[in-house]
């Protein structure tokens, strides 16, 4: 039976919850589906995709999902070995069934279970009840035991591969596939055995023999009634195992009379709450595609919040200035400042919506001279407020056409990021749906987009106020946007030849290590990039100790090889690891070479909305992954140089900014004393922890306490410390106990910050930046522990990020106010890189250090170091 010939019968769709969850889990890679808090979601995503496909294709009138409960069932009481061979679920699967149930309930679908019974019994009981009520039933499962339920009104949709390939089992399809009627399938399974349920069956009896017996004698009972007639080994085997077969048949039989609902009408999908559903999808950080599909299929409708139509004006050529004056005139309530305008840039198209919802769409490549002058002046005017979404991207589009952007009063992308920094979707359509409750049309025009920005600006401003984020938004993140745009436009000059020479050097080093490794194992064609060949060499040819087992064999990951090298010190491993390090550096260098633009400069992109902690990241290329203290890193930095028309590079950074933030937030007297007295922090802490004079703290003791101090910020455990320092667990525990005994403020703070975050649902920085951590209350231990580590780290790392951002704003403003041409080029972690105009070094350095030093007021002093030179390495300090 297909959906098309279902006649007018009501249709009940039954989902085998755990079975489908496991299918979905193995169909999608867990590594690709997880929240920022560490909760894996691949099973949830795959399950929902399959469920929505069924809803869309089958159009059921009634739906229910059946789930197993933890704890023994009546089958296990009868047969303790029942399913005993099944391994424990993978760690990544933990917690996902609960999320699947929550997802279904959010979408108005009933989820059912029954104590001491399995989902099979729930399904069988509901299917029986539906059949008696004259309904047709569809059962979606990966368990063949459900085939016993198949009839003219009951169809099993059996999952074959992944979550999309289903085999439709009607009575005819069951007989064709297994050679018996559906009702006899449990007889067949009992005789031949079922490894998935740990049912051995009769040794020597396969599917064909079992089919023949059942068709000849009618059923398993018929076989038993004639058991003495079976000759030879197979007859002996049958008689010897008939008790196990009988038990297997009894256990395979589904219970069909459980009382689960008062009426099947209880299984009609309930109306879906759009807001609650949206929150669920956002919490799991699913993209808009799955969410929109769910809303469409489940009939979710938003409250009609469609704004009134835009009045589209077409000013006469040369009259744009008049239109801007009229529609972007004074703000209401008698203020003299011009009114705001929502702006959307799409290549050469510029949409402006302002005034009484009047809009104009301009072709920047085809403007009259007077109109071009008017829009140029208006865009660059800091006193003309603009509301935008991703203003930095728009600034670059305008810059490509020779236009300058200033006066950005709202950036709805930044506002949405501050409100929910853990979400990965910040496109206009996503934000509009999240906060305004309406969809952006699929064919939205630039004017539609500008109108959406105008609508969102007001909504998000109120949300920022309600969440005490307005100051962070207006005083820090919003001003930073245009600074980053200018930095990206400026780029930094690079010596291409120096990078190419360095790439060649590393290419030669790679070749040397490849040849040495091949000679070491006498394999002249060994490919060091082949996992399979490395596994053969390491664990077969060299017979080294086995590493962690993976799906493709023993692991050759960097961490595993480091442990192996430490344990064996085999020369082949040294060559292999050196090869990987050199290859990594060459890849970095080649990426830099490819990124050099026509102007001889590298223009990285600073991602302001990438990290939940508030830190900036650098991409295309990533300038934050260049080593600082290695020879390779210094040689790369040598290639970054002062550009034409400028005199030198100037750099400055904060010393131990995160530890200073830790001292401030924890109010620990010991840490505050060390910084106030200007002591070397790690020597000071080492003397206290190891109970020795400061001048007796050896480099090794200093290394240990430094690893602990920074590790605590990331939730380091005694075990983790022992692994990192390669010391015993007991010694690591004693070091940690001594630290907490002498720096009790740190211990109190670390304990308090997690508990407070668990209570609030989020952490916050000194400046109010929030990071939401719903996984703090998760039943999944891995996700919960990840969230706890994030709760320890986010306030410290986030506050440090806020401070360097404030410093950037202060430095940029002071340079402009002083009339200097020196400009900020890069922010790399806690370091700023400036390009200094001729004759401005002394003043620029003075302003740089002063503004960075005064960017924050902590209980301990900030420490800023500065240096200058004609390249980035020489400018180090």
Task: Encode pLDDT of 150-179 as tens digits.
Answer: 999 999 999 986 556 789 999 999 999 988
Q: How far apart are the first and last CA of the chain?
A: 77
Q: How confident is the model at residue 3 (pLDDT cuts 50, 70, 90)?
A: very low
Domain boundaries 508-598, corresponding CATH code: 1.20.1060.10
In the chain, CATH 3.30.420.10 covers: 311-467
Give the model confidence (pLDDT) of 230-239 as tens digits: 877 777 777 7
Helix (H) or strand (E) holding 554: strand 553-554
Are the beta carbons of 849 and 510 closer than 8 angstroms?
Answer: no
Contacts of 191 (CB under 8 A, 6+ apart): 201, 202, 205, 209, 210, 213, 214, 220, 223, 245
Q: What is residue 302's predicted lDDT score, i.e. its pLDDT?
A: 53
Would you state the pLDDT for residue 355?
76
- State pLDDT tens for residues 198-222: 566 677 677 788 788 888 887 878 7
- Asked whether the predicted pLDDT for residue 304 surpasses 50, the reply is no
Contact (CB, 8 A) for 13 and 60: yes
Q: What tens digit of pLDDT does each residue of 547-574 get?
A: 888 777 888 888 888 888 888 889 999 9
- Judged by DSSP in three states, 494 sits in strand
Q: Please, is 228 exposed, middle or buried when counting C-beta atoms within 10 Å of its C-beta (0-12, 13-18, 19+)? A: exposed
**With 80 as the cut, is the pLDDT of residue 196 above it?**
no
Q: What is the phi/psi pair of residue 90, to 5°?
A: -60, 150
Q: What is the pLDDT of residue 236?
A: 77
Whole-angstrom distance, CA of residue 757 vs CA of residue 596? 44
Are 648 and 841 in contact by the 8 Å Cβ rule? The answer is yes
- Whether the Cβ atoms of residue 592 and residue 636 lie closer than 8 Å to each other: yes
Q: In terms of Cα–Cα distance, which of 506, 48, 496 is closest to 293?
A: 48
What number is the average pLDDT over the span 301-317? 73
Identify which of 777, 708, 804, 780 has the alpha carbon closest to the alpha carbon of residue 747.
708
Structure confidence at residue 779 as a pLDDT band (50, 70, 90): confident
Residue 193 pLDDT more than 70?
Answer: no
Alpha-helix runs per DSSP H in 693-780: 699-713, 718-725, 729-742, 744-760
Q: CB 563: neighbour CB atoms within 10 A? A: 15
Percent with pLDDT over 70 in the chain:
93
Report whether 418 contacts 464 (CB < 8 A).
yes
Residue 664 has pLDDT above 70, yes or no: yes
pLDDT above 90 for 484: yes
Locus of tokens 């940690």? 736
CB 82 within 8 A of CB 75: yes
Q: What percent of the chain has pLDDT over 90?
A: 63
The CATH number of 3-178+255-267, from 3.30.420.40, 3.40.50.9100, 3.40.50.1010, 3.40.50.11270, is 3.40.50.1010
For residues 315 and 326, give the distance between their C-alpha atoms in angstroms, rounded to a whole number: 11
Which two three-digit tokens encode residue 29?
């890679």
Whether pLDDT at 121 is above 50? yes
The Cα 656–Cα 659 span in angstroms is 5
The whole-chain average pLDDT of the chain stands at 89
In the chain, ranges of CATH 3.40.50.1010 domains? 3-178+255-267
Q: What is the pLDDT of residues 318-370, one digit of tens each?
A: 999 999 988 886 554 444 456 799 999 999 999 999 877 899 999 999 999 99
Pick from 102, 38, 49: nearest CA to 289: 49
- The per-residue pLDDT for 4 is 41
Structure tokens at 315: 């000013």
**Torsion angle, alpha carbons of 504, 505, 508, 513, to 10:** -140
- Per residue in 786-825, pLDDT (tens digit) is 889 899 999 999 999 999 999 999 999 999 999 999 999 9
The values of phi and psi at residue 219, to 5°, are -170, 175
Our CA angle for 590, 594, 599, nearest 5°, is 135
3-class state of residue 658 by DSSP: helix
pLDDT level of residue 46 (50, 70, 90 thresholds)? very high
Question: Which residue's structure tokens are 């559906």?
Answer: 182
What is the four-CA torsion angle of 357, 358, 359, 360, rounded to 10 degrees? -170
pLDDT of residue 335: 45
Q: Which strands sit side by side in the sheet containing 648-654, from one edge to the other? A: 823-828, 831-836, 648-654, 864-869
**CA–CA separation, 572 vs 593, rounded Å?**
31
User: According to the model, what pLDDT value does residue 723 have?
Assistant: 83
pLDDT(702) > 50: yes
CA distances from 119 to 238, 250, 454, 692 (A): 31, 17, 50, 65
CA distance 132 to 24: 32
pLDDT score, position 33: 83
- Ranges 278-292, 406-420, 720-734, 807-821: which has the least confidence: 278-292
- Which carries the bigger pLDDT value, residue 162 or residue 775? 775
CB-based contact 188:207 (threshold 8 Å): yes
Alpha helices in 334-445 (DSSP H): 369-380, 391-399, 412-419, 428-436
Closest by CA to 295, choosing from 276, 321, 277, is 277
CATH architecture of 311-467: 2-Layer Sandwich (3.30)
For the segment 839-863, what is each residue's pLDDT rounded down to a tens digit?
Answer: 999 999 999 999 999 999 999 999 9
- Whether the pLDDT of residue 2 is over 80: the answer is no
Tell me how far apart the alpha carbons of residues 294 and 291 are, in angstroms, rounded to a whole number: 5
Q: Which CATH number does the domain 658-798 belong to among 1.20.1740.10, 1.10.150.20, 1.10.8.10, 1.10.357.10?
A: 1.10.150.20
Rounded to an integer, what distance in angstroms lies between the CA atom of residue 166 and that of residue 154? 15
Distance CA 753, CA 585 (A): 38
Q: Is the pLDDT of residue 834 over 90?
A: yes
Residue 82 has pLDDT above 70, yes or no: no
pLDDT in tens, 582-623: 999 999 999 999 999 999 999 999 999 988 899 999 999 999
Residues 769 and 473 sit within 8 Å (Cβ to Cβ) = no
List where CATH 1.20.1060.10 sits in the chain.
508-598
pLDDT tens readout for residues 617-660:
999 999 988 888 788 899 999 999 999 999 999 999 999 999 99
């Amino acid at each position: 039976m297909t959906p098309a010939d279902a006649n007018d019968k009501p249709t009940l769709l039954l989902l085998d919850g755990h079975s489908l969850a496991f299918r979905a889990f193995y169909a999608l890679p867990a590594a690709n589906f997880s929240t920022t808090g560490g909760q894996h979601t691949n099973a949830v995503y795959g399950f929902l995709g399959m469920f929505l496909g069924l809803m869309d294709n089958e159009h059921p009138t009634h739906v229910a999902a059946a789930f197993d409960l933890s704890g023994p069932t009546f089958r296990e009481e009868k047969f303790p070995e029942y399913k005993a061979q099944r391994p424990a679920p993978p760690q990544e699967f933990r917690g996902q069934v609960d999320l699947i149930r929550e997802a279904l309930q959010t979408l108005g679908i009933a989820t059912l279970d029954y104590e001491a019974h399995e989902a099979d019994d729930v399904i069988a009981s509901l299917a029986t009840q539906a059949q008696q009520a004259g309904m047709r039933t569809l059962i979606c499962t990966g368990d063949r035991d459900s085939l016993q339920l198949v009839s003219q009104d009951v169809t099993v949709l059996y999952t074959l591969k992944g979550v999309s390939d289903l085999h439709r089992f009607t009575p005819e399809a069951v007989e064709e596939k297994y050679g018996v009627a559906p009702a006899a399938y449990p007889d067949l399974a009992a005789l031949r055995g079922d490894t998935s349920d740990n049912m051995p069956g009769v040794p020597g009896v396969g599917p064909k023999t079992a089919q023949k017996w059942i068709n000849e004698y009618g059923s398993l009972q018929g076989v038993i009634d004639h058991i003495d007639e079976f000759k030879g080994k197979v007859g002996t085997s049958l008689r010897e195992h008939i008790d196990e077969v009988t038990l297997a048949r009894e256990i395979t039989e589904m219970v069909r009379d459980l009382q689960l609902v008062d009426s099947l009408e209880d299984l009609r999908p309930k109306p879906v709450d759009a807001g609650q559903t949206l929150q669920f999808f956002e919490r799991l950080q699913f993209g808009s595609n799955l969410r929109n599909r769910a809303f469409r299929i489940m009939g979710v409708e938003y409250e009609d919040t469609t704004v009134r139509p835009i009045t589209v004006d077409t000013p006469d050529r040369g009259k744009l200035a008049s239109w801007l004056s009229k529609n972007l005139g004074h703000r209401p309530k008698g203020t003299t400042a011009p009114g705001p305008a929502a702006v959307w840039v799409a290549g050469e198209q510029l949409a402006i919506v302002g005034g009484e919802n009047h809009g104009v769409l301009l072709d920047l490549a085809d403007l009259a001279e007077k109109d071009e002058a008017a829009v140029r002046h208006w865009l660059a005017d800091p006193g003309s407020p603009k509301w935008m979404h991703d203003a930095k991207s728009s600034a670059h589009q305008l810059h490509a056409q020779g236009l300058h952007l200033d006066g950005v009063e709202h950036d709805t992308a930044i506002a949405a990021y501050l409100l929910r920094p853990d979400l990965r979707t910040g496109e206009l359509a996503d934000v509009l749906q999240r906060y305004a409750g309406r969809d952006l049309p699929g064919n939205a025009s630039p004017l539609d987009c500008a109108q959406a920005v105008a609508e969102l600006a007001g909504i998000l401003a109120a949300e920022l106020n309600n969440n005490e984020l307005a100051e962070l938004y207006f005083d820090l993140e919003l001003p930073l946007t245009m600074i980053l745009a200018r930095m990206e436009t400026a780029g930094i000059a690079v010596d291409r030849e120096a990078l190419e020479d360095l790439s060649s050097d590393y290419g030669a080093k790679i070749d040397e290590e490849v040849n040495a490794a091949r000679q070491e194992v006498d394999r002249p064609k060994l490919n060091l990039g082949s996992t399979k060949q490395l596994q053969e060499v390491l664990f077969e040819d060299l017979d080294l100790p086995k590493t962690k087992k993976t799906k493709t064999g023993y692991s050759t990951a960097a961490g595993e090889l480091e442990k192996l090298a430490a344990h064996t010190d085999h020369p082949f491993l040294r060559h292999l690891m050196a090869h990987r390090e050199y290859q990594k550096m060459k890849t970095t260098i080649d990426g830099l070479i490819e990124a050099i633009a026509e102007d001889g400069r590298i223009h990285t992109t600073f991602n302001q909305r990438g990290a939940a902690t508030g830190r900036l990241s650098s991409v295309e290329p990533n300038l934050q992954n260049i080593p600082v203290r290695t020879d390779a890193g210094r040689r790369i930095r040598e290639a970054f140089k002062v550009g034409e028309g400028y005199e030198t590079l100037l750099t400055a950074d904060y010393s131990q900014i995160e530890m200073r933030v830790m001292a401030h937030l924890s109010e620990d007297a010991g840490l505050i004393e060390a910084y106030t007295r200007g002591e070397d922090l790690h020597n000071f802490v080492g003397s206290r922890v190891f109970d020795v004079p400061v001048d007796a703290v050896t480099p090794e003791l200093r290394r240990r306490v430094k690893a602990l101090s920074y590790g605590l910020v990331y939730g380091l455990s005694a075990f983790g410390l022992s692994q990192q320092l390669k010391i015993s667990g007991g010694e690591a525990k004693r070091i940690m106990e001594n630290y907490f005994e002498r720096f009790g403020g740190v211990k109190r703070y670390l304990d308090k910050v997690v508990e407070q975050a668990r209570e609030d649902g989020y952490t916050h920085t000194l400046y109010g930046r929030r990071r939401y951590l719903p996984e703090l209350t998760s039943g999944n231990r891995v996700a919960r522990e990840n969230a706890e580590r994030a709760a320890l780290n986010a306030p410290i790392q986030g506050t440090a990020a806020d401070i360097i951002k404030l410093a950037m704003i202060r430095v940029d403003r002071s340079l402009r106010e002083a009339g200097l041409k020196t400009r900020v080029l890069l922010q790399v972690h806690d370091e700023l890189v400036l390009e200094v105009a001729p004759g401005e070094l002394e003043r620029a350095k003075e302003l740089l250090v002063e503004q960075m030093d005064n960017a924050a007021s902590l209980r301990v002093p900030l420490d800023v170091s500065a240096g200058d030179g004609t390249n980035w390495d020489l400018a180090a300090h």
